[in-house]
Chain A
Amino acid sequence: MRKNTLLFLIAGIILLLLFPVFLPRFYVYLLSIILLYGLLATSLNIVLGYGGIFQFHHAVFYGVGAYGTALMLTKTAMPAILAFIVGPLVASALGFILGIICIRLSKLYFGMLQISLGSLVWAIVYRWYSFTGGDDGIHGIPIPEMLSSYIGAYYYTLIITAVCIFLIFKIINSPFGSALQGIRDNPVRSEMIGINVKRHQILALTIAGFFAGVAGSLFVVVDNTVFPDMLFWTLSLEILIMCLLGGWFSFMGPMLGAGVIVALRTFVSTYTVYWALVLGVLMIFVIFFLPNGILGYFEERFKKVFMGSEIKE
């Protein structure tokens, strides 16, 4: 079974590496977007699926990461690589600060406060014309030569996403990841076995903010623009649905969810303007028929086939 997984992984990577050779420009662009959204959804799932924290407004960190990178590239003469590091670091610092403020509230109340504070950040970006470009955003961001072609951007996105997904995987399977999952299942018990619950949650939020920021900086490379909608709450809702649809208790679930949602959005919006409606109906189906998401559903089927009756106990 392990060997199969590895083969799948290698086949997948080779396929992803070869795509730009035979796919037209638009699809390569779409694939880049799927990858970075997948990273974004996976970063949310660190705190959502593995941490049990209702981070409702995750797009803020994505947007701040993107703006951080974009502003560094346009307003300073510092080396580009620094911009790609500073963006995520700012996002992660924001994750830390919002985390400290919100974590005193539990469950849904955390989510509520997080939405309001996140919207505040959005409002600042939206209003501060002189610095952020207001509702116009920033266009034509200068990107280093190597990454400025659509193929360069694709490979950059692919590599960074792969590295980040690998790092997140390591974190989830580390002692910290175990503790985080324990906290998700039972915070009171976790405290009682000596875990400082709030500190672990804040670190998780900081980490999630960082990787969301990385996804934001990838968008700058792929699209050369940033705009305030990147940290609007509707995007947060979409990321949340990616996690739920793909499966928030499966590691690759959010990535799959991102693929489905981005592809669907692209094709649906050529036929109708009612994308939100389609999304809503889709969500109802997921909640009723696939409570563990697509990947969760298949994992369960898989277990049943391979272990027979054992799962029933």
Chain B
Amino acid sequence: MLEVVGISKSFDGFKAVNNAHLSVEKGEIVAVIGPNGAGKTTLFNLITGIIKPDSGRVLFNNEDITGLPPYKICRKHISRSFQIVNVFQRLTVFENVQISILSREKKTWNLFSPSKSFVVKETETILENVGLINKKERITAFLSHGDRKVLEIAMALGGSPEFLILDEPTAGMAPEETSHCIELIKTLSKTMGLTILFCEHDMEIVFRIANRIMVMVRGSTVIQGSCNEVRCNEAVQNAYLGGSDVCLM
């Protein structure tokens, strides 16, 4: 479904992403792992058009989407959440998700109808699914960090994506919030059939939800394979898992 071929990006000569490769098949959950500063977020920014690559290509359903602006990429049904919470601070939880749906339905050029009456049902369904329905009238700035991370996902769902990118979805969450979030991601994959690409520092979470893992170190792809292939890979163990023997088979 998604194919990233030899993509590179440098900032002032520093190679943040250096010839990275990634492939995601329909229905899969793929994790990108790597130490801090490995270039995971930059890779996601490259895929979603927030920054433009120096070289390399991004193919989505065999269509070249390299360098398209984010709003065009979103219209191809790719949605994402951000590592650093990126929501509409002054608006309510409800409005945050509603705007996302309005945008997908191309209703944001409507100047004179009250937006209160638009896409209410769908917004509420999404809020219900992610467990934020009780807080729908809250101003986003007053939400807890964990709730805002979940709201991130809810906003991404507003675009009714086929392909969902999550940048450290559980970072900074309390333990029970984390398990709620993991369940949510699994449900999205199973019941809604979403293809999911995410990155995460917590290895336990990665091994619990990912079908396949891509390992990134200093901007380059070290390996992409099944959980066990990655666990048993020597280069990965040396570079990332600290050399300890965690191979199961």
Distance from B232 Cβ to chain A, minimum over Cβ atoms (Å): 36
A313, B143: Cα distance in complex, Å = 8
Q: Are B159 and A194 in contact (CB under 8 A)?
A: yes
Q: A191-B71, A195-B103, A196-B71 are in contact. Are A175 and B110 (CB under 8 A)?
A: yes
Residues in B with CB closer than 8 Å to A189 are 82, 86-88, 155
Distance from B113 Cβ to chain A, minimum over Cβ atoms (Å): 6
Distance from A297 Cβ to chain B, minimum over Cβ atoms (Å): 16
A62, B23: Cα distance in complex, Å = 55
Q: Which of A167, A176, A190, A197 contacts B109 (CB 8 A)?
A: A176
Main secondary structure of the interface of A (DSSP, over half): helix
Which among A170, A178, A191, A200 has the highest number of chain B CB atoms within 10 Å? A178
Q: Are B75 and A185 in contact (CB under 8 A)?
A: no
Distance from B24 Cβ to chain A, minimum over Cβ atoms (Å): 19
Q: Are A174 and B110 in contact (CB under 8 A)?
A: yes
Q: Does A9 contact B (CB under 8 A)?
A: no
Q: Are A174 and B99 in contact (CB under 8 A)?
A: no
Q: Are A194 and B103 in contact (CB under 8 A)?
A: yes
- Residues facing A in B28-85 (CB within 8 A) are 48, 50, 69-71, 74-75, 79-80, 82
Q: Does B104 contact A (CB under 8 A)?
A: yes
Distance from B72 Cβ to chain A, minimum over Cβ atoms (Å): 8
Q: Does B248 contact A (CB under 8 A)?
A: no
Q: Does B112 contact A (CB under 8 A)?
A: yes
A260, B68: Cα distance in complex, Å = 48
Q: Does B249 contact A (CB under 8 A)?
A: no
A191, B155: Cα distance in complex, Å = 12
Q: Does A149 contact B (CB under 8 A)?
A: no
Residues in A with CB closer than 8 Å to B71 are 191-192, 194-197
Q: Are B48 and A195 in contact (CB under 8 A)?
A: no
Q: A192-B80, A193-B79, A193-B159 are in contact. Are A174 and B115 (CB under 8 A)?
A: yes
Q: How many A-B residue pairs have CB under 8 A?
A: 109
- Residues facing B in A164-180 (CB within 8 A) are 167, 170-171, 173-179
Q: Are B50 and A192 in contact (CB under 8 A)?
A: yes
* Interface membership of chain A positions 181-192, coded 1 if the CB is closer than 8 angstroms to chain B and 0 otherwise: 110111011111
Distance from B31 Cβ to chain A, minimum over Cβ atoms (Å): 21
Q: Does B100 contact A (CB under 8 A)?
A: yes
Q: Are B69 and A175 in contact (CB under 8 A)?
A: no
Q: A193-B100, A193-B155 are in contact. Are A188 and B86 (CB under 8 A)?
A: yes
Distance from A89 Cβ to chain B, minimum over Cβ atoms (Å): 17
Interface size on B, residues (CB 8 A): 41
Q: Are A185 and B91 in contact (CB under 8 A)?
A: yes
Q: Does B107 contact A (CB under 8 A)?
A: yes
Q: Which of A177, A186, A196 contacts B88 (CB 8 A)?
A: A186
Distance from A17 Cβ to chain B, minimum over Cβ atoms (Å): 26
Q: Are A186 and B108 in contact (CB under 8 A)?
A: no
Q: A171-B111, A173-B114, A194-B74 are in contact. Are A178 and B102 (CB under 8 A)?
A: yes
Which among A170, A174, A191, A192 has the highest number of chain B CB atoms within 10 Å? A192
A171, B112: Cα distance in complex, Å = 6
Q: Write the residues of chain B forming the contact surface with A, with a CB cutoff of 8 angstroms.
A: 48, 50, 69-71, 74-75, 79-80, 82, 86-91, 95-96, 98-100, 102-104, 107-116, 118, 138, 142, 155-156, 158-159
Q: Write the residues of chain A forming the contact surface with B, with a CB cutoff of 8 angstroms.
A: 167, 170-171, 173-179, 181-182, 184-186, 188-197, 200, 203, 249, 313
25 A-B pairs within 8 Å (CB atoms) are namely A170-B112, A173-B115, A174-B111, A175-B109, A175-B118, A177-B115, A178-B102, A178-B108, A181-B90, A181-B91, A182-B99, A188-B50, A189-B88, A191-B74, A192-B50, A192-B86, A193-B99, A193-B103, A193-B159, A194-B104, A195-B108, A197-B71, A203-B109, A313-B138, A313-B142
